[in-house]
Chains A and B, each alone.
Chain A
Amino acid sequence: MTVPVLSAQNIGKSYGSGANRFDALKGVSVDIRAGESVAIVGKSGSGKSTLMHLLALLDDPDSGALLVEGTDAKKLKGKEVNRLRNQDFGFVFQQFFLTANASVLENVVLPLKIAGVDPKERKARGMEALEQLELADKAKSKAMNLSGGQKQRAVIARALVNNPKVIFADEPTGNLDTATGAVVEDILFSLNKDKGITLIIVTHDIDLAARCDRQIFIRDGLEDVTRSPEAIAKPAGAHS
Chain B
Amino acid sequence: MKFVDIIRTAIANSFRSKLRTGLTVIAIFIGAFTLTITSGIGTGVTSYINSQVSAIGAADVLTVTKADDGATAGDGPAPYDPEKATAISLGNGSRPGSTIQALTDDDLDTIEATSGILGVDPSVQVTPDYIVYDVSGKFELTVNAAATLTTADLASGEQLDNESATDQILLPTTYLDPLGFSTPESAIGQTVTIGIADFAGTQQQVPATIVGVQNETILGAGAGLNQPLTDRLRAVELSGTPAEAPQSYATATARFDLDASDEEITAIKADLADQGYASQTVADQIGSFETVINVIIGVLNAFAVIALIAAGFGIINTLLMSVQERTREIGLMKAMGMNGGRVYALFSTEAVFIGFLGSALGALVAVAVGSVVSNILATTVFENLPGLQVVQFAPSSIAVIIGIVMLIAFLAGTLPARAAARQNPIDALRYE
Contacts and interface: CB of A to CB of B under 8 A. Distances in A.
Given A95-B431, A97-B329, A116-B2, A85 B426 contact: no
Nearest to B1: A114
Interface stretch (A76-84, A130-138, A145-153, A205-213): A76-84
Interface residues of B, number: 21
B431 A93 contact: yes
A116 B336 CA distance: 12
B5 interface: yes
A115 B432 CA distance: 30
Interface in B414-432: 424-426, 429, 431-432
B429 to A, nearest CB: 6
B429 A115 contact: no
A115 B333 CA distance: 11
B16 interface: yes
Contact of B329 (A83, A91, A99, A113): A99
Interface in B386-432: 424-426, 429, 431-432
Nearest to A84: B337
A53 B342 CA distance: 22
B337 A87 contact: yes
B332 interface: yes
A79 B341 CA distance: 11
Interface string B36-63: 0000000000000000000000000000
B335 A116 contact: no
B335 A114 contact: no
A37 to B, nearest CB: 21
B82 to A, nearest CB: 93
Given A53-B426, A97-B328, A101-B16, A58 B335 contact: yes
Contact of B431 (A58, A81, A83, A94): A94
A116 B429 CA distance: 23
Contact of B429 (A78, A97, A99, A110): A97
B337 A83 contact: yes
The CB with the most chain B CB atoms within 10 A, among A58, A81, A87, A239, is that of: A58
Contacts of A86: 336-338
A101 B328 CA distance: 15
A185 to B, nearest CB: 20
A113 B5 contact: yes
Contacts of B328: 97
Interface in A46-95: 53, 56, 58-59, 78-79, 81-87, 91, 93-95
B337 A115 contact: yes
B136 interface: no
B339 interface: yes
A82 B329 contact: no
Given A53-B426, A58-B425, A93-B431, A111 B336 contact: yes
A73 to B, nearest CB: 14
A95 B428 CA distance: 12
A202 B338 CA distance: 24
The CB with the most chain B CB atoms within 10 A, among A84, A93, A101, is that of: A93
A114 B337 contact: yes
Contact of B339 (A79, A99, A101): A79
A151 B333 CA distance: 18
A35 B328 CA distance: 30
Nearest to B326: A99
A62 B9 CA distance: 36
Nearest to A86: B337
The CB with the most chain A CB atoms within 10 A, among B337, B342, B426, B429, is that of: B337
Interface in B50-87: none
Interface string B265-279: 000000000000000
Contact of B1 (A56, A59, A101, A113): A113
Interface in A127-168: none
Nearest to B9: A113
Contacts of B16: 101
Contacts of B2: 113, 116
21 contacts: A53-B426, A58-B335, A58-B425, A58-B426, A59-B424, A82-B338, A85-B336, A86-B338, A91-B335, A93-B429, A97-B332, A101-B16, A110-B332, A110-B333, A110-B336, A111-B336, A113-B1, A114-B337, A115-B1, A115-B337, A116-B1
Given A94-B431, A110-B332, 8 more contacts: A59-B424, A86-B338, A91-B335, A93-B431, A114-B333, A114-B336, A115-B337, A239-B432
Interface of A: 53, 56, 58-59, 78-79, 81-87, 91, 93-95, 97, 99, 101, 110-111, 113-116, 239
A-B residue pairs, 8 tightest by C-beta: A86-B337, A85-B337, A82-B337, A114-B338, A116-B2, A111-B336, A97-B332, A59-B426
